[in-house]
């Protein structure tokens, strides 16, 4: 029995593009790890990225049929949160099944793990869903199918029994020794990118209310890390490919807990410096894990990019979502990272279903004091990006009754005045982002005139948000507030329009190149 591990094309809408995280970064390596375990066990498989191959939804059933013919096979699809496009994706799987009824269709990943009941109830074409960590479960499923043995009741699988009842198996025991896993298989689109992703750990030692990392792996799994020696061996292997020198750790939390986490990071820095000198790398981390001793060694080893999970400048909000950090931890982390000359990105949630206007005012004050509103692209993202409560978030069940959405809880759950403020800023930010297109992230080729345009845009966005927030704080009647914000938005968009013409002309002349670290 052969296995197809398939990643579908990505679908973006204005609403879903605004979501801070629609699937954790670590998901990008999940198919590769599944393929690597299958390869290690001698199971025939194909690792396919439909987007990289240029397959649209309409082409996928025929392409798979051409590949597999009428032979029985297991199709395991990583289903990312696709919101309103989920139905289209699964309908295309029905066409796969129509062509070859012997195919077993399995879903894995974050969304299927949490929405298994909904999916199995609505879509008979889905034979099984892998819950949580997928590598061992999919390998065992493939082996059983190949031997024509029963797989129902396997740990880590949800399915329908013969009477149509949905059965959820217990999670597989988490893979505690990540060094036991083979290095992930990679496809051409991954090896062609500027940054090569590496997974150095799984899980997190904290459990923030807005995060679904630990619910996915199981709370008993906690944070698990590969050994520094194992990580560096993979880096050395990847360095054998030409032009591979930039790496990004796709870990939810790079550092492990406490003193152990710091010591492990320092050992990794030492080994990189000794065995893979000259590489550049980045990672994501909680702010309370930023310590001078480890940061200094990591910087010497090639750390240049860091993503800090600041989330908010409001201590009330941080406490409410059980972030377990202080605002002062964020300030200290920023100071240390700047001292070492790192390129800093921030995870920041300006709007959330449980934010109030005082939180937003605290956020704005924090962002200005810490000089985090420095370019139009950064400012626009930080000032309007919301978080949505998707399947798997601990808060999902608590507030789902406020919306009819099956996929995520969004603007319906915002406090009404917060929602109006968000809608004002969303339109302004989207407009400026369309004008700038990330070109302000690297201004090495910019002229003084262009730098003036970027600076002016940035000031206008900040000033507009300050005015909108002030209006929202002092206006309690919703119709009056809506009219005032609409008028302000119209005025602001008119002020922004001249920049569009200037930047469009420069862009058409080919004077720009865009460089950005994409997450």
Both structure tokens of 444: 């090495």
- Name the strand (E) or helix (H) holding 246: strand 246-249
User: What percent of the chain stands above pLDDT 70?
Assistant: 87
**290 in Cβ contact with 172 (< 8 Å):** no
**469 in Cβ contact with 485 (< 8 Å):** no
- φ, ψ of residue 514 in degrees (nearest 5): -105, 125
- φ, ψ of residue 343 in degrees (nearest 5): -80, 110
* Per-residue model confidence as pLDDT tens digits over 416-442: 999 999 999 999 999 999 888 888 887
Q: Which pLDDT score is estimated for 441?
A: 80
Highest averaged pLDDT of the listed ranges 40-54, 80-94, 221-235 = 221-235
333-342, 475-484, 485-494, 507-516: least confidently modelled range: 507-516
Rounded to 10 degrees, what is the CA torsion of 135, 138, 144, 146? -110
Indicate whether 406 pLDDT > 70: no
Write 411-417 long-range contacts (CB < 8 A, 24+).
411/386, 413/353, 413/389, 414/351, 414/352, 414/353, 414/355, 414/386, 415/355, 415/356, 415/357, 416/478, 417/357, 417/472, 417/475, 417/476, 417/478, 417/481
DSSP label of 351: B
- Place domain 2-168 in its CATH homologous superfamily: Response regulator (3.40.50.2300)
Rounded to 10 degrees, what is the CA torsion of 196, 199, 200, 202? 160
Q: Find, among 33, 48, 46, 107, the residue nearest to 77 by Cα.
A: 107
In this prediction, residue 12 has a pLDDT band, given cuts at 50, 70 and 90, of low
Q: Find, among 415, 439, 411, 413, the residue nearest to 426 by Cα.
A: 411
* Per-residue model confidence as pLDDT tens digits over 197-216: 999 999 999 988 888 888 89
Cite the beta strand spans of 92-156 per DSSP E. 104-108, 128-130
Question: In whole angstroms, how far apart are CA 306 and each of 228, 282, 342, 372, 519?
Answer: 19, 5, 7, 14, 11
Residues 237, 497: Cα–Cα separation, whole Å: 50
Q: Find, among 234, 305, 246, the residue nearest to 280 by Cα.
A: 246
Indicate whether 348 pLDDT > 70: yes
Residue in this structure with the two tokens 């995870």, named with its chain if needed: 347
Q: Find, among 315, 318, 294, the residue nearest to 306 by Cα.
A: 294
**193 in Cβ contact with 187 (< 8 Å):** no
Q: Which pLDDT score is estimated for 23?
A: 57
**376 in Cβ contact with 434 (< 8 Å):** no
Q: Which pLDDT score is estimated for 398?
A: 63
Q: Which pLDDT score is estimated for 20?
A: 46
Write 180-186 long-range contacts (CB < 8 A, 24+).
181/33, 181/36, 181/37, 181/135, 182/36, 182/37, 182/39, 182/40, 183/36, 183/234, 183/237, 184/29, 184/32, 184/33, 184/35, 184/36, 185/32, 185/35, 185/36, 185/39, 185/47, 186/32
42: left (phi over 0), alpha (psi -120 to 50) or beta: left
Indicate whether 514 pLDDT > 50: no
- Place domain 193-371 in its CATH homologous superfamily: Aldolase class I (3.20.20.70)
* Per-residue model confidence as pLDDT tens digits over 441-457: 876 677 788 889 999 99
**426: exposed, middle or buried (Cβ count in 10 Å: 0-12, 13-18, 19+):** buried
Q: Which pLDDT score is estimated for 102?
A: 93
- φ, ψ of residue 307 in degrees (nearest 5): -110, 115
Question: In whole angstroms, how far apart are CA 320 and each of 100, 315, 359, 500?
Answer: 50, 8, 11, 40
Domain limits of the chain? 2-168, 193-371, 373-509
* Per-residue model confidence as pLDDT tens digits over 238-277: 998 876 889 999 999 999 999 999 999 999 999 999 999 9
**198 in Cβ contact with 250 (< 8 Å):** yes
What is the dihedral sign for C-alpha 474, 476, 479, 485? positive
The full 3-state SS of 74-90, as one line of letters, equals EEEEECCCCHHHHHHHH
Give the mean pLDDT of the chain.
88
Residues 83, 512: Cα–Cα separation, whole Å: 34
Residue in this structure with the two tokens 């909000």, named with its chain if needed: 317
């Amino acid at each position: 029995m052969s296995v197809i591990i398939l990643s579908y094309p990505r679908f973006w809408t204005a609403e879903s593009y605004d979501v801070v995280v629609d699937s954790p970064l670590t998901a990008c390596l999940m198919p590769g790890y599944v393929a690597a375990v299958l390869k290690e066990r001698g199971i025939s498989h194909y690792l396919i990225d439909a987007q990289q191959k240029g397959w649209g939804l309409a082409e996928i059933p025929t392409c798979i049929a051409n590949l597999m013919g009428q032979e029985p096979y297991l199709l395991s699809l990583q289903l990312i949160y696709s919101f309103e496009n989920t139905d289209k994706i699964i309908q295309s799987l029905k066409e796969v099944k129509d062509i070859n009824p012997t195919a077993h269709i399995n879903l894995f990943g974050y969304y299927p793990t949490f929405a298994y009941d909904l999916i199995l109830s609505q879509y008979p074409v889905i034979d099984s869903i892998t819950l949580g960590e997928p590598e061992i479960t999919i390998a065992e499923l493939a082996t059983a199918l190949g031997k024509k043995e029963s797989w129902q009741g396997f740990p880590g699988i949800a399915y329908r029994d013969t009477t149509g009842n949905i059965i959820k198996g217990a999670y597989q025991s988490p893979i505690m020794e990540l060094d036991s896993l083979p290095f992930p298989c990679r496809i051409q689109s991954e090896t062609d990118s500027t940054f090569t992703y590496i997974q150095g750990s799984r899980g997190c030692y904290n459990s923030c209310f807005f995060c679904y990392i630990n619910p996915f792996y199981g709370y008993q799994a906690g944070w698990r890390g590969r050994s520094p020696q194992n990580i560096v061996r993979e880096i050395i292997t990847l360095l054998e490919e030409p032009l591979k020198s930039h790496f990004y750790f796709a870990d939810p939390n790079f550092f492990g807990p406490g003193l152990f986490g710091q010591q492990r990071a320092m050992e990794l820095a030492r080994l990189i410096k000794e065995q893979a000198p000259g590489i550049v790398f980045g990672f994501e981390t909680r702010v309370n894990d930023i310590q001078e001793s480890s940061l200094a060694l990591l910087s010497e080893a090639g750390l240049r990019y860091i993503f800090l999970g600041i989330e908010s400048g409001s201590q009330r909000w941080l406490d409410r979502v059980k972030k377990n950090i202080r605002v002062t931890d964020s300030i200290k982390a920023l100071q240390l990272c700047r001292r070492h000359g790192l390129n800093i990105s921030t995870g920041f949630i300006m709007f959330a279903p449980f934010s109030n206007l005082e939180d937003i005012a605290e956020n704005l004050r924090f962002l200005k004091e810490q000089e985090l509103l420095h370019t139009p692209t950064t400012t626009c993202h930080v000032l309007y990006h919301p978080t949505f409560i998707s399947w798997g978030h601990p808060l999902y069940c608590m507030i789902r009754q406020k919306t009819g959405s099956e996929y995520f809880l969004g603007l319906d759950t915002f406090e009404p005045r917060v929602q109006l403020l968000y809608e004002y800023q969303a339109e302004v930010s989207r407009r400026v982002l369309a004008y700038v297109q990330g070109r302000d992230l690297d201004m090495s080729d910019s002229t003084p005139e262009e730098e003036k345009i970027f600076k002016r845009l940035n000031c206008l966005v900040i000033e507009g948000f300050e005015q909108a927030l002030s209006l929202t704080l002092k206006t309690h009647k919703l119709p009056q507030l809506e009219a005032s914000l609409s008028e302000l938005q119209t005025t602001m968009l008119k002020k922004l329009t001249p920049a569009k013409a200037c930047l469009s002309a420069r862009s058409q002349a080919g004077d720009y190149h865009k460089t950005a670290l994409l997450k």
